[in-house]
Amino acid sequence: MKPVRVRFAPSPTGYLHIGGLRTALYDYLFASAMKGKLILRIEDTDQSREVEGAATSLINTLHQLGIDFDEGPGIGGEFQPYTQSQRLELYKYHAQKLIDSGNAYYCFCSSETLTAMREEQQVQGQFVKYDRRCLQLSKDEITARLAKGERHVIRLKMPDHRLFSFDDLIRDKVEMESSQSDDQVLVKSDGFPTYHLAAVVDDHYMQISHVIRGEEWLSSTPKHLWLYECFGWEAPIWVHLPLILATDRSKLSKRMNDVSVESYLTKGYLKEALLNFVVLLGWHTSDDREIFTLDEMCSVFSLDRVNKAGAIFDLTKLDWMNGHYMRSLPLETIAERCEPYFLSSGLDISNRDKFMKCVDVARERCTLLPEIVDYSKMFYAKAELSTEDKEIMLNADSQKVLKWFAEELPKAMPLNADKVQELTKLCTTNLGIKGKALYTPLRLALINQAHGPDLPNTFAILGDQEAIDRISRYVVR
Ligand code: GLU
């Protein structure tokens, strides 16, 4: 068997799509399992969609997620360059070869002509495709129009009545009639190749063994097979991944859904959760296991367990998964990840001990990293109480409780969970006050709100002196 070489071939249009991450992840996992190579190729031949800096940010995002490449732009490799806009000569050469062999032809039709042609075909109920009117042009006419610098494209001449049949690793045998394929534009009027020509040429020269890509490319495969045949090259093994669907089974779209990986990271999803969620978009183990680290995925992943059916992008599941990782990753990891959110919200986290305890309590109750900051504010800020809460603090029982604690706590220092619990019991015994009447004034004093973590945790986070100060300031003398 040929050495396994797979490529992730994104177009640098501004962000990493969730579907792109899935392809990159499956590429990475397959390459790791097969001890093959993972190549990054930047497909930037559509100049109108290009966003500056997108390629670098894409590489950074994937690196941040733990997906690194063996070859690619800025990484190097035997088949450089890996950015298509730097390989234009190669595509030009191959387009010419196709023209010379009669497998491609010049087309001078304007966009108005093409639109009118399509409309007419639609009215007639015909399959919409180019009607090959430029295929009839004589050699002399073509030469003259090219010499005049007339705007043109180069089209692939698909064979007539040919049944293309290929094995897809996920879909098994696929058959498609050539009449269902348009004469694909291979070179655009700006001289840049389209995806179809550039990808086939590059996959060949970069010795790609398996083309792993989204199902949306399945219908293009006959065109690609035909290109391989015209060039006399061996085609790679095809692997078309299932579509990713929204919960209503419509196609996941940028307009309706957030599909940017960077945006999920910014929102405070953990990379472990994102990868774990994304790996399950179309793949599962026989025992339907849900939780995997990247290393675990590497050891169990195989392409033959990828489904044909569309995968549902269910944010509820992503949230559940994120909550799982918030609680199960080492505390230091979560603290490190939420530190930037604390800093940008202006909270003073110089007291490391307090910060760590706070994160530990908060992560049990939060789904996303920034929620930890919101939850923690009660331990950092001393907010003004509402008029109603102020009244509660002034009632006789509340005052008794607050005063009792303000006096007893200093004697019990250093505090710990057992001592706090003993003191609450003792307070009830001595003052005859329990339940809400006991806890509400204490919580309002300590954390400005009636609900929050249990008292031992609250005391532990605030620290003895801060807790005593917060209680004492509500004692009216
Ligand atoms: N540049 C194509 C895209 O971004 C790549 C498709 C492929 O993997 O062949 O969709």
Q: Which of 2, 254, 308, 436 is catalytic?
A: 254
The rounded Å distance from CA 468 to ligand 1 centre is: 62
For tokens 């290009």, the residue is 50
**AA identity, residue 397:** D
**Cα end-to-end distance, the chain, whole Å:** 87
Q: Considering only CA atoms, which of 96, 84, 107 is closest in space to residue 200?
A: 84
* pLDDT of amino acid 11: 93
**Structure tokens, 160:** 């007539």
Averaged pLDDT of the chain: 96
- pLDDT band for position 337 (50/70/90)? very high
What ligand 1 atom has the least distance to the C-alpha of 213?
8
What pLDDT was estimated at residue 320? 98
What pLDDT score does 203 carry? 98
Give the pLDDT confidence score for residue 79 in this predicted structure: 98
10 lines ligand 1 (CB under 6 A): yes
In the predicted structure, residue 204 carries a pLDDT above the cut 80: yes
Query: Which ligand 1 atom is nearest residue 8's CA?
Result: 8
pLDDT of residue 255: 81
Given the DSSP bridges, would you call strands 311-312 and 185-187 parallel, antiparallel or unpaired?
A: unpaired
Q: Give residue 180's pLDDT band: very low, low, confident or very high (50, 70, 90).
A: confident
Collect all residues with Cβ–Cβ distance below 8 Å to 122 and sequence separation of at least 6: 128
The response to whether residue 19 sits with its C-beta less than 6 Å from ligand 1 reads no
Ligand 1 and 357: CB distance under 6 A: no
Question: 440 in helix, strand or coil?
Answer: helix
pLDDT in tens, 378-395: 999 877 899 999 999 999
Q: Which atom of ligand 1 is nearest to the CA of 17?
A: 4
Say if ligand 1 is within 6 A of residue 11 CB. Answer: yes
Å from CA of 469 to ligand 1 middle: 61
Q: Which atom of ligand 1 is closest in space to residue 10's alpha carbon?
A: 4
Q: Is the peptide bond before 441 cis (omega within 30 degrees of 0)?
A: no
DSSP 95: H
- Give the pLDDT confidence score for residue 227 in this predicted structure: 98
Cα 260 to averaged position of ligand 1 atoms, centre (Å): 16
Residue nearest to atom 5 of ligand 1 (CA): 9
Q: Would the CB of 71 count as within 6 Å of ligand 1?
A: no
> Quick check: CB of 213 below 6 Å from ligand 1?
yes
Residue 477 has pLDDT above 80, yes or no: no
Query: Which is nearest to 155 in space by CA: 217, 106, 112?
Result: 106
To the query of whether residue 425 is one of the catalytic residues in this protein, the response is no
Q: What does the pLDDT read at residue 344?
A: 95
